[in-house]
Amino acid sequence: MNKIKNYITIFALLVGIAVCASTSMPTSAPLTNQISQQTNINKNYTQAQTQSLTVNPLNVVAKPYAYLNKTITIRAKFDKFSTLGLDYKPAMRSSENYISFLIQRPDVYNHNIPLSELKIFLNRTEAEKYIELNSGDIVEFSGKVFSTALGDPWMDASTFKVISSKPKTQN
Split at pLDDT 50, 70, 90, the class of 50 is low
Q: Determine which helix (DSSP H) or strand (DSSP E) holds 4, and give its type and residue range.
A: helix 2-22
Q: How far apart are the first and last CA of the chain?
A: 58
Enter the pTM of the model: 0.69
Q: Would you state the torsion angle of the CA atoms of residues 114, 117, 122, 128, taken in this order, to the nearest 10 degrees?
A: 20
Split at pLDDT 50, 70, 90, the class of 166 is confident
**Residue type for position 57:** P
**Does residue 104 contact residue 95 with C-beta atoms inside 8 Å?**
no
Split at pLDDT 50, 70, 90, the class of 167 is confident
Split at pLDDT 50, 70, 90, the class of 13 is very low
pLDDT one-digit tens code per residue, 81-105: 999 999 999 999 999 999 999 999 9
Split at pLDDT 50, 70, 90, the class of 51 is confident
Concatenating the DSSP letter of every residue in 8-68 gives: HHHHHHHHHHHHHHHTT---HHHHHHHHHHHHHHHHHHHHHHHPPEE--HHHHHH-HHHHB
**Rounded distance between C-alpha atoms, residue 59 and residue 67, angstroms:** 9
Count CA atoms closer than 13 A to 32's CA, side-chain side.
4
With CA atoms as reference, report the closest residue to 103 among 124, 126, 122: 122
With CA atoms as reference, report the closest residue to 157 among 95, 105, 99: 99
Residue 104 DSSP label: B
**Rounded distance between C-alpha atoms, residue 129 and residue 135, angstroms:** 16
